Structure 1
């Protein structure tokens, strides 16, 4: 028998109460966990056949269970179409709550297995796609397996608006001037170097940078350090390629289409720097969060782990 600790009983109780609040007050039917599991399976599967596989029952059992539940609630949960079973707003809301209960139950099971409380919950993290690829993914691979009950939601963006709007809990940003309303840690200085692929270098003369084909961020990143450097140092150069992310710039350089100033953490195999770092155009990697998030154990845990894993020399 699974015996839940007080912390998990409370979290699970809150989840069940949240489910009940979604239901019209006029109905007296009391939802239970099998009802929620049924709704979640059909939302995830999109069809009776797939839901029956997820629930490990036959198709007719799922069909009858859905019909009974809709009759008991007095509300339609799914609309049948050629695309499958489409959830109504009510079913979608219940499915989202069911996922939270599923996560709470999984955290409780892990806690019992490990003999103590575990870090659980959802943490939303935002960063640029270049930081995600070059820095964050290797860091997550180091420590996330130690937190099986922690769910991480990742989004890529180039601004701080998500933290200000509370769309994210943690941000990794390259900037010299982080917003004053955020708190965080300065992790590393990041420099940029002009780079090209070995293949491209075989056919050009690198002594004249202005004669090379340049790849650069587009107007989506007008204040990027590499844009400022190029306009100051090579004012007559018009890039042959423009991209809306530094990761895309890097991939074009790797494909042998030209040269670009790249952050040092994206300069890997197959790319060769053409000189020293761009003096005066370096930036800083910051790990940032909102002051109110410091009270959330899940956020603090992830923040501390990232701080250790991303501390560059």
Structure 2
């Protein structure tokens, strides 16, 4: 229980009030979340601020903006909310429940091609586990402690992280069925090429293209491999894609690009191995993403 400098004892109703106004941003939306009227929320906030002797919200044209104190209380409220939900589920299921929030980062292509199908397999079994997802192409998230787990395509994961290799990933030149049918005998260099832009200068497909098609003109440049795949699927040209994005309207035009494969790594920080929620998600991803590639 939070003990303010004024010795006022914050209770769960106070935390729920602050959380509702932080989430809603206005008195009307907070009232709807709490299922009370607007005047009740207004009076309750004024009473709480008076009891604490501190301002919780600044009124602006955009609504009610939380102060740092309100933001901190809202975070505590979310944890309390999760704990109550975990307790409720534990009573219903008659056993121990995995709960908490785990932050996971991956690229958008791994998210669409591998992670979402895996989550659909096991996340329903963990109703009290909250997953925060972010897409990024680097390891900075884990290094800055912005994330707990990462799924990364690499041949050399950072030494300060721990994890396991889930399997090799190969790349193939691909096109949509319609595009392949319209260009059956064309040389690869004469096709409309779609590729990552300078945001991914060291991508394996970029290295392959520089080696084997150094003079090819790029018709489309994208800042993510998922966008490259979507343009291919739309029939706009060809691209070298990871094998887990092949299918659903995208077909290979040839064998895998020899010498330019990579690997999918499941990584975490050493300190996260003490967190049961992180370990549980890590192990489930290891089983189900591996299963997808088996």
* Same structural fold, with TM-score higher than 0.5 when normalized by the shorter chain: yes
Query: What is the aligned partner in structure 1 of residue 12 from structure 2?
Result: 33
Query: What is the aligned partner in structure 2 of residue 307 from structure 1?
Result: 286
Q: Verify the 8 A CA contact 1:36 1:95 in the aligned structure 2.
A: yes
Query: What is the aligned partner in structure 1 of residue 98 from structure 2?
Result: 119
Q: Distance in 1 between matches of 2:185 and 2:135?
A: 34
**SS of aligned partner of 1:310:** helix
Residues 119, 56 of structure 1: alpha-carbon distance in 2 compared, 3 angstrom cutoff = same
1:229: how far off? 0.7
1:81: how far off? 2.8
Say which of 226, 233, 240 aligns to 1:247.
Answer: 226
In the alignment, is residue 136 of structure 1 matched against residue 115 of structure 2? yes
Q: Distance in 1 between matches of 2:289 and 2:246?
A: 17
The residue correspondences of 1:187-206 to structure 2 (distance < 5 A) are: 187-206=166-185
In the alignment, is residue 60 of structure 1 matched against residue 43 of structure 2? no
Q: Verify the 8 A CA contact 1:70 1:77 in the aligned structure 2.
A: yes
**SS of aligned partner of 1:172:** strand
The residue correspondences of 1:141-180 to structure 2 (distance < 5 A) are: 141-180=120-159
Query: What is the aligned partner in structure 2 of residue 92 from structure 1?
Result: 71
1:111: how far off? 1.6
Query: For structure 2, which runs of at least 5 residues remain unmatched after alignment?
Result: none
Q: Verify the 8 A CA contact 1:49 1:59 in the aligned structure 2.
A: yes
Query: What is the aligned partner in structure 1 of residue 58 from structure 2?
Result: 79
Q: TM-score, normalised by structure 1?
A: 0.89
Q: Distance in 2 between matches of 1:88 and 1:173?
A: 36
In the alignment, is residue 107 of structure 1 matched against residue 81 of structure 2? no
Query: What is the aligned partner in structure 2 of residue 12 from structure 1?
Result: none
Q: Verify the 8 A CA contact 1:191 1:283 in the aligned structure 2.
A: yes
Q: Distance in 2 between matches of 1:37 and 1:123?
A: 22
Q: Distance in 2 between matches of 1:149 and 1:205?
A: 52
Query: What is the aligned partner in structure 1 of residue 237 from structure 2?
Result: 258
Q: Distance in 1 between matches of 2:277 and 2:269?
A: 14
Q: Verify the 8 A CA contact 1:130 1:247 in the aligned structure 2.
A: yes
Query: What is the aligned partner in structure 1 of residue 191 from structure 2?
Result: 212
Listed one character per residue, the Cα deviations across residues 249-302 of structure 1 (whole Å, up to 9, x for unaligned) are 011111121110011111122222111111111111111111221111111100
* Bigger shift: residues 298-307 or 177-186: 177-186
**SS of aligned partner of 1:216:** strand
1:203: how far off? 3.4
Q: Distance in 2 between matches of 1:54 and 1:79?
A: 20
Listed one character per residue, the Cα deviations across residues 18-48 of structure 1 (whole Å, up to 9, x for unaligned) are x43xx4x2x1211111111111111112222
Q: Distance in 2 between matches of 1:257 and 1:82?
A: 45
Q: Distance in 1 between matches of 2:39 and 2:28?
A: 9
1:100: how far off? 1.0
**SS of aligned partner of 2:254:** coil
1:218: how far off? 1.0
Q: Verify the 8 A CA contact 1:191 1:278 in the aligned structure 2.
A: yes
Query: What is the aligned partner in structure 2 of residue 279 from structure 1?
Result: 258
Query: What is the aligned partner in structure 2 of residue 238 from structure 1?
Result: 217
1:202: how far off? 3.8
